[in-house]
Amino acid sequence: MTGSFTRRDGVLYAEDVALPAIAEAAGTPVYVNSAGGMRRQARALLDAFAGHDVRICYAVKANHHLAVLRLFAGMGLGMDTVSGGEIARALKAGCPPERIVFAGVAKDTDEMRLGLAQGIFQFNVESIEELRRLGQVASAMGRRAPVALRVNPDVAAGGHDKISTGKKGDKFGVPIEDASAILAEAATMAGIEPVGLHCHIGSQITELAPFEAAYRRVLEAFTAIREGGVELTRVDFGGGFGVRYQEPPKFTIADYARMVLRLTSGLGASVVLEPGRFLVAEQAVLVARAIYLKETATHRFLVLDAGMNTLIRPAMYGAWHDILPVVAKDGPLVPTEVVGPICESSDFFARGRPLPRMMEGDLVAIMQAGAYGSVMASDYNSRPGPAEVMVDGERFTVITPRRAVERQYEDETVPPWLE
Ligand code: PLP
């Protein structure tokens, strides 16, 4: 349990609000976000780099809710976006365009126009093809796009092969050895202002060594490119800092900051960071209600009203989340299959997890659900999407109501010839 979620008299609280009260008010399943916890994480990062030319851009993809974006924008963070939709959300939440980075492997022409018209801080470009397209679009608009080229430093990292992004053969970025030639071409384009290099080697990285290995390679290339005459001023190291799911990361954010500052001291360049998971993962829980306790000769299944459509991480990455009874229970711990109601056998949260005997109607909290949780929820099986709540001290607000079934099909049309 993090500082944001604690037990009082056997009942789990989000900050100063009891989770059963939230389940009552919002229904279940419900994601419960701790505003205080998110602020604490952001403050830790800002403090670790205080006094240095380091910009923290929250990776919107981790949780794109307007309330979350507003909270971070209000603390002075920038936003790392990967689509026109995320740029629109960041702007709507009050993030100034000059704090927005636009990354992502496939920006289309309309998205480029949006970023250029808004005058965003930086485009992280992932291929020569994208660079040329951006150059043409910017020239046609009479603009220059500030570009950091995403390089692939060929370093293995990340908590799972599906979230490792910096190896040769991954679709992201350009081979680091090609960066110099690409930026030399970029420098000749009227619509492009080459400003830096970018890398992001993966997510849920729990050791410092892969970061340092990748950053050293990026900085070597950075220096060589500068010596070749392209005036780069920024280095963007992406995100990827691991959080505690089952085991805590082997480094603290202060260790990470010291490493970054040591590598970049004297470089004369601004540093950009794009943390997502670190800021939000441990600051939300998913509260679900048990529909059935189904017992067979060999297994005990706890069937929840949340499923892989609510939180896909266990099904997609085999991810571990702590699972706790919201109201503490006595009795022996018995291996329990914690599953959802979706008609897929991959619809599970934990297998053989030691839990006390839960009953129909009991609430459980699936912990560390704040990153890549609610953003990936879907209406699969036409189950109403989860509600979302934000807690701040003693107050809370339902920031997304559960998506009623009628709203799920309100945009659908039956062709007149089927009527
Ligand atoms: N930056 C880029 C380019 C990414 O692709 C991602 C995640 O996929 C992030 C930042 C955020 O990563 P994390 O949430 O692990 O910090």
Q: What is the pLDDT of residues 215-237, one digit of tens each?
A: 999 999 999 999 999 999 999 99
Q: Report how far ligand 1's centroid is from the alpha carbon of 50 (Å).
A: 22
Q: Report how far ligand 1's centroid is from the alpha carbon of 202 (Å).
A: 7
User: Average of pLDDT values for 25-53?
Assistant: 98
Q: What letter represents residue 81's amino acid?
A: T
C-beta 280 within 6 A of ligand 1 = no
Whether cis (ω within 30° of 0) applies to the bond prior to 354 is no
For residue 92, name the pLDDT band (cuts at 50, 70, 90). very high
- Is the pLDDT at 325 greater than 60? The verdict is yes
Q: What letter represents residue 182's amino acid?
A: I
3-state SS assignment for residue 62: helix
Choice among 81-90, 170-179, 210-219, 306-315 with the minimum mean pLDDT: 170-179
Is 43 in contact with 72 (CB distance < 8 Å)?
no
- Residue 122's pLDDT is 98
Beta-strand ranges (E) seen in 296-406 are 300-304, 323-325, 334-339, 348-355, 363-366, 387-392, 395-400
Contacts of 103 (CB under 8 A, 6+ apart): 80, 81, 82, 124, 126, 150, 198, 200, 274
Contacts of 266 (CB under 8 A, 6+ apart): none
Contacts of 270 (CB under 8 A, 6+ apart): 53, 54, 55, 233, 234, 235
- Residue 168's pLDDT is 63
- Residue 2's pLDDT is 54
Is 409 in contact with 35 (CB distance < 8 Å)?
no
Q: What letter represents residue 13's amino acid?
A: Y
- Is the pLDDT at 166 greater than 60? The verdict is no
Q: Report how far ligand 1's centroid is from the alpha carbon of 276 (Å).
A: 6
Q: Report how far ligand 1's centroid is from the alpha carbon of 17 (Å).
A: 31
Q: Is 57 a catalytic residue?
A: no
For residue 30, name the pLDDT band (cuts at 50, 70, 90). very high
Q: What is the dihedral of CA 128, 129, 130, 136, to 10 degrees?
A: 110
| Reported pTM | 0.95
Q: Which residue owns the Cα nearest ligand 1 atom 7?
A: 203
- Residue 401's pLDDT is 96
Tokens of 273: 């960071």
Tokens of 276: 């997502």
- Residue 154's pLDDT is 83
- Residue 404's pLDDT is 87
The torsion angles phi and psi of 174, rounded to 5 degrees, stand at: -115, 155
**Strand partners for 287:** 30, 365
The helix (run of H) or strand (run of E) holding residue 225 is: helix 208-227
- Is the pLDDT at 159 greater than 60? The verdict is no
Question: Which has more pLDDT, 271 or 343?
Answer: 271
- Integer CA distances (angstroms), 381 to 22, 90, 350, in order: 25, 30, 21
For residue 284, name the pLDDT band (cuts at 50, 70, 90). very high
Tokens of 143: 């603009």
Beta-strand ranges (E) seen in 109-144 are 122-125
Ramachandran class of 229: left when φ > 0, alpha when ψ lies in -120 to 50, beta otherwise: left
- Residue 162's pLDDT is 59
Tokens of 23: 């389940």
| Mean pLDDT, the chain, integer | 95
Q: What is the pLDDT of residues 350-396, one digit of tens each?
A: 999 999 999 999 999 999 999 999 999 999 999 988 999 999 999 99
User: Average of pLDDT values for 130-150?
Assistant: 98
Which atom of ligand 1 is closest in space to residue 239's alpha carbon? 16
C-beta 307 within 6 A of ligand 1 = no
User: Average of pLDDT values for 289-293?
Assistant: 97
User: Average of pLDDT values for 155-184?
Assistant: 75
Q: What is the pLDDT of residues 234-270, one digit of tens each?
A: 999 999 999 999 999 999 999 999 999 999 999 999 9
* Residue from 45, 61, 167, 278 whose mutation best tests the ligand 1 pocket (most atoms within 8 A of CB): 61
- Residue 345's pLDDT is 86
* Residue from 55, 163, 274, 375 whose mutation best tests the ligand 1 pocket (most atoms within 8 A of CB): 274
Through-space distance between the first and last CA atoms of the chain, rounded to whole angstroms: 54
Choice among 112-116, 194-198, 342-346 with the minimum mean pLDDT: 342-346
- Is the pLDDT at 169 greater than 90? The verdict is no
- Residue 1's pLDDT is 52
User: Average of pLDDT values for 109-113?
Assistant: 98
Q: Which residue owns the Cα nearest ligand 1 atom 6?
A: 239
d(CA 316, CA 360) in angstroms, rounded, equals 27
